């Protein structure tokens, strides 16, 4: 009779159960976690993006030992004492538009995640940043996992960027990167890109969710401890979001997106998260043979090729962060040849356009429901503020009625469902920018009882209207 098999000890069974319970699966597209594998991610809807998180099976990151003089982060101290500590070093970058988005100069120890479409200019921007800090006397380290040293040198020569004080490491191995950061102690480290970095302690392919998350966590830990500014360059998906786990956005201090159309020279640097300043600011650049240059007069650039005599076009004085910016709103309303009319809005929320269409039909009687409607913000800008409502209404009416709007008129104001026009913020700055560019008339909402009296600047006539009915009369009946 065979001997009975001896049961393993209870603590061994518990350890095995705990090990099995730690198994999780991650979506490499959006970073969502699941207890089991599935073919389609229910969060982002992508197929074949859910993979096992291998970081649960051993060391996932490489931690450096504290060097001499390293701060002991395991002990707390009074908040008042910490508040009175010495301010961190802030470094001038030589890029005013970048500093506008960051809320000032670059702080030591800051971690920045920079995303953008391929070829939009991310590597150019970080090379100019490295060059600016090197010229200011700071040591900088450029870690490239996508390009060779000769390619980076040729780009620096083409852009005319001085590289004194800038070191280069063409490497994808995380452990070697951390060792070089520990040895060189630079003030700025740029990793281009984080999706190419891999750790030998993880049995996962390069670019896997586990690799990206673990390598980023290790680099961030080293940057915070050594008081080094860190820039992580990341790829974006076709939806325009950062590839890899979205949890990277929660791990860093600043998340920047470099946007623009490849056929246009304009580049916009937006901040969607910023622990050092406002996340509403935007930096405006122009791509030139010598790299990214600051736009001296962005409003005139966006209006440079405007056909002011054509119906369906109107100028809107918008606000990007705290910067006034005049942009052109274009609308095309035409006959529909199919059973379902087309509705396309680029640069403005489509649901907002649909709401304004309903307001026009209700209060003005212009029936647009059976027609094709196309709306576009010229220059690739995205406008999210409600102050653009009145300009959208004016452009739609101008195209539908085939009546052009006066070329020297700007329109702004929020439109309510009852057809009223409401005041908007930064009115003085908007009107001042319009007057500076030669506009003579502005159609504005009436100031409410609690709103300040916004007097227009000299040379600009302000015509205040209560609702969309008065707005249409001021546009086409005068």
- Per the domain annotation, does 314 fall within a domain? yes
- Per the domain annotation, does 59 fall within a domain? no
- Per the domain annotation, does 13 fall within a domain? no
- Per the domain annotation, does 81 fall within a domain? no
- pLDDT number for residue 241: 55
Please state the domain count of the chain. Answer: 3
Q: Based on the domain organization, do 345 and 400 belong to the same domain? A: yes
Number of C-beta neighbours around residue 225 at 10 A? 17
| Predicted confidence (pLDDT) per residue in 365-403, tens digit | 999 988 999 999 987 788 989 999 999 999 999 999 999
**Last residue in a domain, options 255, 278, 296:** 296
Q: Based on the domain organization, do 176 and 276 belong to the same domain? A: yes
Q: Based on the domain organization, do 124 and 245 belong to the same domain? A: yes
Q: Based on the domain organization, do 237 and 315 belong to the same domain? A: no
Q: Based on the domain organization, do 384 and 453 belong to the same domain? A: yes
Q: Give the C-alpha separation, 378 to 387, whole Å.
A: 17
Q: Based on the domain organization, do 377 and 354 belong to the same domain? A: yes
- pLDDT number for residue 210: 78
- pLDDT number for residue 63: 41
Give me 196's structure tokens.
Answer: 């190419």
- Per the domain annotation, does 411 fall within a domain? yes
Q: Give the C-alpha separation, 454 to 387, whole Å.
A: 15
- Averaged confidence pLDDT in the chain: 84
326 and 410 Cβ atoms separated by less than 8 Å: yes
Q: Based on the domain organization, do 255 and 167 belong to the same domain? A: yes
Q: Give the C-alpha separation, 167 to 189, whole Å.
A: 10
Give me 360's structure tokens.
Answer: 């026009």
CB-based contacts of 458, cutoff 8 Å, min separation 6: 435
- Full domain range(s) for residue 466: 300-476
Q: Based on the domain organization, do 188 and 313 belong to the same domain? A: no
- pLDDT number for residue 4: 54
Q: Based on the domain organization, do 287 and 304 belong to the same domain? A: no
**Last residue in a domain, options 296, 323, 340:** 296
Give me 14's structure tokens.
Answer: 């518990």
- pLDDT number for residue 249: 84
- Per the domain annotation, does 67 fall within a domain? no
Q: Based on the domain organization, do 93 and 210 belong to the same domain? A: yes
Q: Based on the domain organization, do 267 and 343 belong to the same domain? A: no
Q: Are strands 140-144 and 166-170 parallel, antiparallel or unpaired?
A: parallel
| Predicted confidence (pLDDT) per residue in 110-165, tens digit | 999 998 888 889 999 999 999 999 999 999 999 998 888 899 999 999 999 988 88
Residue the block writes with tokens 């915070």: 224
Low-confidence ranges of the chain (pLDDT < 70): 1-22, 54-74, 79, 82-87, 237-247, 261-263, 301, 304, 448-454, 478
Q: Give the C-alpha separation, 50 to 31, whole Å.
A: 9
Q: Give the C-alpha separation, 153 to 280, whole Å.
A: 35
């Amino acid at each position: 009779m065979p001997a009975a098999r001896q049961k393993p000890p209870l603590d061994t069974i518990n350890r095995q159960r705990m090990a099995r319970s730690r198994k999780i699966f991650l979506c490499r597209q959006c970073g969502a976690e699941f207890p089991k594998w599935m073919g389609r991610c229910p969060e982002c809807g992508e197929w074949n993006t859910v993979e096992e998180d291998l970081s649960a099976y051993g060391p996932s990151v490489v931690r450096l030992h504290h060097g001499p003089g390293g701060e002991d982060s395991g002990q707390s101290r009074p908040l008042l004492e910490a508040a009175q500590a010495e301010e961190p070093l802030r470094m001038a970058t030589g890029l005013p538009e970048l500093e506008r988005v960051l809320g000032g100069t670059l702080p030591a120890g800051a971690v920045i995640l920079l995303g953008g479409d391929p070829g939009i200019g991310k590597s150019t921007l970080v090379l100019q940043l490295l060059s600016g800090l090197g010229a200011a006397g700071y040591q900088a380290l450029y870690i490239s996992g996508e390009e060779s040293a000769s390619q980076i040198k040729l780009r620096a020569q083409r852009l005319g960027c001085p590289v004194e004080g800038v070191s280069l490491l063409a490497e994808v191995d995380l452990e070697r990167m951390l060792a070089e950061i520990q040895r060189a102690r630079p003030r700025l480290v740029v990793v281009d890109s984080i999706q190419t970095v891999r750790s030998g302690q993880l049995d996962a392919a390069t670019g896997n969710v586990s690799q990206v998350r673990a390598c980023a966590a290790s680099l961030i830990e080293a940057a915070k401890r050594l008081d080094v500014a860190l820039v992580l360059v990341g790829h974006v998906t076709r939806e325009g979001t950062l590839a890899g786990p979205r949890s990277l956005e929660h791990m860093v201090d600043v998340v920047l997106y470099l946007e623009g159309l490849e056929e246009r020279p304009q580049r916009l640097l937006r901040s969607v998260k910023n622990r050092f300043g406002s996340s509403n600011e935007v930096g405006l650049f122009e791509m030139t043979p010598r790299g990214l240059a600051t736009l001296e007069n962005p409003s005139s650039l966006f209006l440079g090729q405007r056909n002011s005599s054509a119906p369906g076009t109107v100028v809107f004085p918008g606000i990007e962060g705290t910067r006034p910016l005049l942009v052109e709103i274009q609308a095309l309303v035409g006959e529909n040849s199919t059973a379902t009319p087309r509705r396309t809005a680029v640069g403005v929320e489509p649901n907002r356009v649909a709401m304004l269409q309903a307001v026009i039909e209700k209060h003005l009687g212009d029936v647009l429901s059976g027609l094709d409607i196309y709306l576009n913000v010229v220059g690739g800008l995205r406008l999210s503020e409600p102050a653009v409502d009145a300009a959208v209404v004016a452009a739609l009416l101008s195209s539908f009625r085939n009546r052009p709007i006066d070329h020297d008129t700007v329109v702004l104001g929020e439109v309510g469902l009852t057809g009223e026009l409401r005041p908007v913020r930064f009115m003085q700055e908007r009107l001042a920018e319009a007057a500076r560019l030669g506009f003579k008339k502005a159609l504005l909402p009436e100031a409410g009882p609690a709103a300040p009296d916004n007097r227009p600047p000299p040379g600009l006539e302000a015509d205040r209207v209560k609702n969309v009915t008065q707005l249409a009369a001021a546009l086409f009946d005068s």
